[in-house]
Amino acid sequence: MQVLFHYRILAQDGMQVHVAELLAAMQRQGHAVRVVAPGVDDTNACDGARETASGGRRAAAGIVARFGALRHRLPAWMAELLELGYSVPAYLRLRRAARARTPDVIYERYNLFLLAGVWLKRSLGVPLLLEVNAPLAEERAAHGRLSLTALARWSERFVWRRADVVLPVSHALAAYVRAAGVPDSRIAVIPNGVRPEVYAARDGDVRADLGLDDGRVVFGFVGFIRPWHGLERVLDVIAGLDDRPHLLVVGEGPARPLIEQRANALGLADRVTITGAVPHARVPAYLRAFDVALQPDVTAYASPLKLFEYMAAGCAIVAPDRPNIREIVTDGETAVLVDPSDDAAFAAVLSRLAADTGLRRRLGRAAAVAVKRDGRTWESNARRVIELGRLCARRTGGGASAVLDTPAGGIGQ
């Protein structure tokens, strides 16, 4: 199948991992994927997975620095108009790519103020599959810097309603899509995924490299560190435990200073390691250093990539008891879920897991089995996307709504 894959991502975090893994899975299954994105050379766009994972990331890093510096010097409203204006050159690039090789389907990762995919769908009559990872108008209003709120909400609804199929990453997020006016018949939930074979290997030992090979319990977190994760709460628990457990944070982000300040205030600076960003290929080795893998809190709609990686690595997981998290793990079987507002319960769970090696092993084994059993893989995700694309491409007068009246579509996993 010919797939025209479009995204506008500058951040070097889990978003790039999602894109690269899905592209690679499509290509392993024999599909021709042409990529249009920042940092991806149009002349090499047909080799999207490798370009995204290597040279594309390096090029995008330069764009990140330049655009980030410019954006912070501009008023918020002006930066947002620049985002909207990016839709024009993005559309022209998509048109060129489509003329070079006519796609069967357009696959776009939704971003705020990004209209290019809808425009191309209208001009070519090619189906548009829209991956949605967050209600960005709401998220940026709450956690970022958003000025043109009404325009942001309009652009979000405009794109969601005009896609042939909207692919939210959780059922909780599907409720947002439905509330925007998209019918269930054009919504298909596809959560994040993982390549289990990459995380199942047991070679490599970063504990020794980090000075953590002395038998202490390691609480670990991997990913972009945001304030809503609440990692500083872990330090309050560590301060009250006698066996000197350690917090290992693999990643970088705006909440790092909060963690470091809290560690210094509690006298725990020597019991916290923050590695900064590491290459994603090295993440499995760091996960093998975790005794307990943490997701202290999360937004109400996310499908956290780290949870799938924790499961594949066989980690004992502590996660917030939220509906979107219960879509991924089962309390007491593949993770321990805790009310994110209950600090006492959170402390009790960490203390229990720190002391109970058998429980940690049981949870980890069950999680590793479940991630494969339930098809939480990039290969499975790519097959679902391609099947949905084929159904849309073959549709006749019935439109996408008629197409998704099949077991492959609709709200489901």
- pLDDT at 9 exceeding the cut of 80: yes
Least confident of 126-140, 213-227, 378-392: 213-227
Q: What is the mean pLDDT of residues 247-261?
A: 94
Average pLDDT, the chain: 89
Ramachandran quadrant class, 39 (left: phi over 0; alpha: psi -120 to 50; beta: rest): left
- Cα(313)–Cα(206) distance, integer angstroms: 15
Q: What is the mean pLDDT of residues 110-116?
A: 97
Least confident of 66-80, 250-264, 318-332: 66-80
| CA nearest neighbour of 117 among 130, 132, 102 | 130
Phi, psi of 132, rounded to the nearest 5 degrees: -120, 120
pLDDT of residue 164: 97
Burial (CB count within 10 angstroms: exposed 0-12, middle 13-18, buried 19+), residue 58: exposed
- Cα(110)–Cα(289) distance, integer angstroms: 34
Parallel, antiparallel, or unpaired for β 218-222 and 336-338?
Answer: unpaired
| CA nearest neighbour of 195 among 59, 392, 368 | 368
Phi, psi of 187, rounded to the nearest 5 degrees: -125, 130
pLDDT of residue 42: 61
pLDDT band at 69 (very low <50, low <70, confident <90, very high): low
Those residues whose C-beta lies under 8 Å from the C-beta of residue 43, and which sit 6 or more positions away, are none
Task: Give the SS3 label for residue 3.
Answer: strand
- pLDDT at 144 exceeding the cut of 80: no
Angle of helix 14-28 relative to helix 378-393, nearest 10 degrees, comes to: 70
pLDDT of residue 11: 64
Phi, psi of 250, rounded to the nearest 5 degrees: -105, 95
pLDDT of residue 66: 64
- Cα(86)–Cα(115) distance, integer angstroms: 9
Q: How many CA atoms lie within 13 A of 336 on its CB side?
A: 24
Query: How many angstroms separate the first and last alpha carbons of the chain?
Result: 22
- The secondary structure of residue 163, as a DSSP letter, is S
Q: What is the mean pLDDT of residues 300-305?
A: 95
pLDDT of residue 399: 40
**Alpha helices per DSSP H over 14-115:** 14-28, 48-53, 55-73, 76-85, 87-100
Q: Which string of DSSP letters, residue by residue, matches 181-239?
A: T--GGGB------B-HHHHH-----HHHHHT--SS--EEEEES---GGG-THHHHHHHH
- pLDDT at 153 exceeding the cut of 60: yes
- pLDDT at 381 exceeding the cut of 80: yes
Q: What is the mean pLDDT of residues 143-166?
A: 95
Q: What is the mean pLDDT of residues 70-76?
A: 80
% of the chain residues with pLDDT over 90: 76
pLDDT of residue 65: 52
pLDDT of residue 196: 95
- pLDDT at 176 exceeding the cut of 90: yes
- pLDDT at 53 exceeding the cut of 60: no
Residue 130, both tokens: 């829209």
